Amino acid sequence: MKYCSNCSAAVELLIPEGDSLPRYVCTVCHVIHYQNPKVVVGCIPEWEDKILLCRRAIEPRLGWWTLPAGFMENSETLAQAAARETLEEANARVEIGNLYAIYSLPHISQVYVLFRAQLLDLDFKPGIESLDVKLMNESEIPWEEMAFRVIHDPLRRYFNERRHGKPGFHIGVIERPPGAT
C-alpha cells in the first residue's frame, strides 16, 4: 500500500499507539488502514453418493479440480456466499446444509469455510471460472489433480466420515508447504 484511500496522501508502515502490529497509517489524515484475512466460502455439493467438482478455468491452478468456492462478498452471509459461488462456478443450485469445516491459512491470510450442501437438481454446467464440472464418487476423484490442499484434505475426511456414518465438524490450520516461498 502506498497511498491513503481516504485522502490520497502517502502512507507509512508503523505500529500505531495502543496497537501491537505494524499498520499502514496516512501521513496526513492519520487514518489507520487495517488489512485483514480474506474469507473463502464453498460447499461440498452432494447428489446420492457423489459430489460435484469443478475443473478450474482460471489461475491459480488452472486445469486442476476443486470444490465450488470463492471469496465472500460484502453484505452476504456465509451460506449465501457458498450458494452464489456454486451457481457461478457450476451453474448448480444447492441447498446449503451444515457447516463442515473451517481452516485457517495464515501464510496467505485466508480463512476457508466449507458447508455440506445438497444439489437441488442435475441441471449444471461449467460457469465462466470452470472448464468442466462433474459428479464423482470417491473412486473417480482425481486426487493427484486436486487444486488445493485445503480442498483435498477435507474431502478425504468427508469420504472417510461418510463411510463410517459419522459426519463431523472440523477446525484446522493449513501451514505453508515445506520449501514454499
What's the pLDDT tens digit per position in 80-113? 999 999 999 999 999 999 999 999 999 999 999 9
Check residue 177 and give its pLDDT: 78
Mean pLDDT value across residues 128-137: 97
Written as one letter, the residue type at 92 is A
Dump pLDDT digits (tens) for 10-42.
999 999 999 999 999 999 999 999 999 999 999
H helix runs in the chain, sequence order = 78-90, 149-163
Distance from C-alpha of 40 to C-alpha of 142, rounded to nearest angstrom = 23
Check residue 175 and give its pLDDT: 92
Q: Indicate the DSSP class of residue 80.
A: H
Looking at 3.90.79.10, 1.20.1740.10, 3.40.225.10, 3.30.110.30, the CATH number of the domain 38-173 comes to: 3.90.79.10
Looking at 2.20.70.10, 3.40.47.10, 3.40.50.620, 2.40.128.130, the CATH number of the domain 1-35 comes to: 2.20.70.10
Percent helix, strand and coil across the chain, each to the nearest 5: 20, 40, 40
Check residue 46 and give its pLDDT: 98
pTM: 0.90
- The DSSP result for 133-172, as a single string, is EEEE-GGG--GGGBS-HHHHHHHHHHHHHHHTT----EEE
- For residue 92, how far is the Cα from the chain centroid? 17
Check residue 181 and give its pLDDT: 53
Check residue 176 and give its pLDDT: 84
Non-local CB neighbours of 90 within 8 Å, separated by 6+ positions: 45, 52, 54, 68, 124, 125, 126, 127, 130, 133
Check residue 180 and give its pLDDT: 66
